[in-house]
């Protein structure tokens, strides 16, 4: 019985860790790419609530940062955080911020006129979370996806990261 309680508490801690690291990674990507993180920080409570809820229920499949030109609604760049519930859990938790920063520089700055939004792909039947609604993704036509690999590991729960350029 106590083993189950320990596993639940560890998973809850992993969910909190991964949620925080994804949000901080998004903030770094936005800021280091030349845009203001003000919108992100304004939406932080809703973002945190949704990510944490859906990681906890294992319904979050992917978190996406779309950067687009507001004049024509065309996608300029995109960052994907693919959620992995099957990473090996050896008790360690880490984030590879150096690798993320390297790829931010590699992807280049965005025009200051760009806007961004954060979208989630979830499993059908996921719990409803206030502040989140249904949406569609912008087309990635003409962009190429570059995989970075696992950048966040929360003891068995983590994220593989990629960007489109």
User: Residue for token digits 């949704």?
Assistant: 50
What's the maximum distance between 2 C-alpha atoms anywhere in the chain?
A: 58
Which pLDDT tens digit goes with each residue over 121-136?
999 999 999 999 999 9
Look at residue 36 and tell me whether its pLDDT is greater than 90: yes
Alpha-carbon distance of 120 to 23, in angstroms, equals: 13
The highest-level CATH class for domain 2-164 is: alpha beta
In the structure, what pLDDT confidence band is assigned to residue 10 with cuts at 50, 70 and 90? Answer: confident
- Percent of the chain at pLDDT above 70? 93
The mean per-residue pLDDT over the stretch 39-62 comes to 97
In the predicted model, what is the mean pLDDT of the chain? 91
Q: What's the distance, CA 135 to chain centroid?
A: 16
pLDDT at residue 2, rounded to an integer: 46
Alpha-carbon distance of 54 to 64, in angstroms, equals: 14
User: For the sheet containing 145-154, what is the strand order?
Assistant: 93-95, 145-154, 158-164, 74-84, 60-69, 115-122
User: Residue for token digits 């994220």?
Assistant: 159
The mean per-residue pLDDT over the stretch 90-116 comes to 88
Look at residue 8 and tell me whether its pLDDT is greater than 70: no
């Amino acid at each position: 019985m106590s083993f189950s309680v320990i596993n639940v508490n560890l998973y809850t801690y992993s969910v909190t860790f991964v949620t925080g690291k994804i949000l901080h990674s998004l903030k770094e990507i936005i800021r280091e790419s030349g845009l203001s993180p003000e919108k992100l920080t304004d939406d932080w409570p809703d973002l945190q609530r949704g990510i944490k809820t859906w990681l906890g229920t294992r319904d979050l499949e992917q978190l996406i940062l779309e950067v687009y030109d507001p004049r024509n609604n065309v996608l300029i760049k995109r960052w994907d955080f693919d959620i992995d519930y099957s990473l090996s859990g050896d008790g360690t938790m880490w984030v590879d911020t150096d690798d993320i920063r390297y790829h931010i520089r590699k992807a280049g700055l965005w025009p200051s006129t760009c806007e961004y939004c954060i979208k989630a792909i979830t499993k059908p039947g996921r719990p409803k979370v206030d502040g989140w609604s249904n949406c569609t993704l912008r087309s990635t036509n003409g962009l190429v996806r570059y995989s970075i690999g696992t950048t966040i590991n929360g003891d068995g729960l983590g994220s593989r990261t990629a960007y489109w350029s």
